[in-house]
Amino acid sequence: MIVVMQHDATPAQIEEVVRRLRQFGFDIHLSAGVERTIVGAIGDKTPAVIETIEAMDGVEKIVPILHPFKLASREIHPDKTVVRVGSVEIGGPEIVVMAGPCAVESEAQLLATARLVRAAGATILRGGAYKPRTSPYSFQGLAEEGLKILALAREQLGMPVVTEVLSPRDVELVAQYADILQIGARNMQNFSLLREVGIVRKPVLLKRGMANTIEEWLMAAEYILSSGNSQVILCERGIRTFETATRNTLDLSSVPVVRDLSHLPLIVDPSHGTGKRQYVPAMTRAAVAAGADGVIIEVHPHPEQALSDGPQSLTPEQFSELMASLPALAQAVGRTYTCPAPVHER
């Protein structure tokens, strides 16, 4: 339930309401707005509890939370969440671009790609050290060696890195190297993994499952939030439909829907959403126009030689051209996008 405090409620009155709610066994989430404070209370409410809290000094009213994803809901957290990764803010006015190869194949390959995407306008480097593949015979990633290469790129270029974690037992290891932990589509409902990344106090990029509803996606975020990690970034990456012209069907309607339902920042993955590089630029621009806080794009110096997802990876030239089109588009929809300043390698 949501306890709405009066606009002139004192800090002492708010503290007393919080104390009583905790006595009743509720988990408390405070949201202090400009005009009034909202106390989100997660737990088992009874008519007696509601009557007790409503009668307390400073309480204006109690509102039930209608959605099952309580912590992810705008009902309990009306203001938009901004996740900060180093100097990058995800969920603020600036459009964020994450880019890099699908998989870390070698030190030379990753560093070359990182330099290219950084120069073109990306602020966060993506790259898979562990690769969940449909076939057990496909390239599975370099594991910890790949993580070390990502950390080297961050050290040299100053870019935060995002990479996928596949198993609860690997969370601690990946967290040692990565700035953002990615939960892939296949693991969206791996609840043990969700709880484990909820314990680690690092941002989590949660991709939508390939056959999951928006509510199921937000409930997956709820697992992370309820474990104590408030730094959740949602990622729409396409869902499986009957259409075969693209790898998946990029559900851009989810962007305004999630904006309406949740305070969490949201980015879009047009690479997996389409599976074909010729469609990635159009879907990137459409995602920004729809209200996404950023995009995550696969780029490879030589896509035809990529060990994973070459057909959906942009060439450096294609990526640079796409990035050059974003400032005007961002301005048209009330956002900003500024290419980062040139970096001197360390």
Q: How many CA atoms lie within 13 A of 89 on its CB side?
A: 10
Q: Please name the residues in contact with 4: beta carbons below 8 A apart, sequence gap of 6 or more.
A: 36, 38, 59, 60, 61, 62, 63
Give pLDDT, residue 15. 94
Beta strands 2-5; 161-164: pairing state: unpaired
Pair (58, 93) in one structural domain: no
Pair (109, 257) in one structural domain: yes
Q: What is the CATH number of the domain that holds 9?
A: 3.30.70.1140
Pair (228, 266) in one structural domain: yes
Q: What is the CATH number of the domain that holds 327?
A: 3.20.20.70
Domain holding 41, by residue range, is 2-63
Let me know if residue 28 belongs to a domain. Answer: yes
Is residue 131 pLDDT above 80, yes or no?
no
The DSSP letter of residue 189 is T
Instruction: State how many domains the chain has.
Output: 2
In the block, residue with structure tokens 């390698």: 345
Give pLDDT, residue 83. 98
Let me know if residue 337 belongs to a domain. Answer: no
Is residue 132 pLDDT above 90, yes or no?
no
Whole-number Å distance between alpha carbons of 222 and 232: 9
Is residue 343 pLDDT above 80, yes or no?
no
Pair (94, 21) in one structural domain: no
Give pLDDT, residue 102. 95
Q: What's the pTM?
A: 0.88
Beta strands 161-164; 124-126: pairing state: parallel
Pair (116, 264) in one structural domain: yes
Assigned token pair, 14: 């708010």
Pair (54, 196) in one structural domain: no
Pair (115, 16) in one structural domain: no
Give pLDDT, residue 77. 86
Mean pLDDT of 310-337: 96
Lowest mean pLDDT among 25-39, 230-244, 279-293: 25-39
pLDDT band at 86; cut points 50, 70, 90: very high
Q: Say if CB 227 and CB 200 are below 8 A apart.
A: no
Pair (311, 263) in one structural domain: yes
Q: Say if CB 162 and CB 182 are below 8 A apart.
A: yes
3-state secondary structure (DSSP) of residue 256: helix
Let me know if residue 257 belongs to a domain. Answer: yes
Is residue 264 pLDDT above 80, yes or no?
yes
Strands laid side by side in the 59-63 sheet: 27-32, 37-42, 2-5, 59-63
Instruction: Tell me which H or E stretch contains 318.
Output: helix 316-324
Quick: pLDDT tens for 166-213: 999 999 999 999 999 999 999 999 999 999 999 998 999 999 999 999
Q: What percent of the chain has pLDDT over 90?
A: 81
Give pLDDT, residue 137. 62
Pair (141, 212) in one structural domain: yes
Mean pLDDT of 294-303: 97
pLDDT band at 134; cut points 50, 70, 90: low
**Maximum distance among all Cα pairs of the chain, rounded to whole angstroms:** 68
Is residue 92 pLDDT above 90, yes or no?
yes
